[in-house]
Homo-oligomer: A and B are copies of this chain.
Amino acid sequence: METGAQPRTPPGVPRTAEIPPEVRESITDFLYYEADLLDERHYEEWVELFTDDARYEVPVRVTREKKAEWDVSPTARIIDDSKEMLQVRVARLNTEYAWAEDPPSRVRHFITNIRIHPGDTEGEYAVRYNVLIYRSRGELPRYEVLSGQRRDVLRETPDGWRIAYRQVILDQSVLATYNLSYFV
């Protein structure tokens, strides 16, 4: 059984040679920049980093036997958004009535293990990396740590890199958080 849902990039042998260093660098910078926008809550700028045809998926992870065909549900989703839907979430966060984020969460995205493969389309890259998300909120000492792997398709555009597809595989089946009022 593999944890992946479709479409997925297999681990695959590294193909560094095919990725020009400047592409590696600029994709890396882009992902760090994007994370910083989220952690500093610049949501409008953030959502503009998605292409108009983007899809953002967070599938439900299920505890299955080793021999099961999948543990990432092919149907159930925590999030399954188009760019418009992401914009709705951002608009909501910018109202005075997004109670779940007032006071705001303190969120930090730790991006590691970035691996870049040529995408199926010219000018697209399949980027797979790990993300550890730390969140604390309010005047309580408690914090939560989410772990997952992001599987992006990044597209090169005149304005720079844009996210055409993102799938986030979270490493829990019963989430240890009372809500996902922040973006994973």
Contact = CB atoms under 8 A, between A and B. Distances in A.
Interface of A: 1-4, 11-14, 16, 21-22, 24-26, 29-30, 32-33, 35-37, 39-42, 45, 61, 63-67, 71, 96, 98, 101-104, 106-115, 128, 130, 132, 134-143, 145, 147-149, 160, 171-176
24 contacts: A1-B104, A2-B40, A2-B41, A3-B106, A4-B40, A11-B42, A14-B26, A14-B29, A14-B33, A16-B25, A21-B25, A33-B115, A35-B113, A36-B113, A36-B128, A64-B103, A65-B102, A66-B98, A66-B102, A67-B96, A108-B148, A109-B113, A132-B134, A136-B171
Contact of A141 (B42, B45, B176): B176
A139 B173 contact: yes
- Residue among A39, A45, A140, A176 with most chain B CB within 10 A: A39
Given A141-B175, A176-B142, A149 B33 contact: no
Contact of A108 (B96, B115, B171, B174): B171
A13 to B, nearest CB: 7
B108 A111 contact: no
B32 A114 contact: yes
Contacts of A160: 13
Given A112-B110, A145-B145, A30 B11 contact: no
A113 B143 contact: no
Contacts of A40: 2-4, 11
A11 B40 CA distance: 8
B41 A171 contact: no
A69 B173 CA distance: 38
Given A2-B40, A143-B176, A107 B171 contact: yes
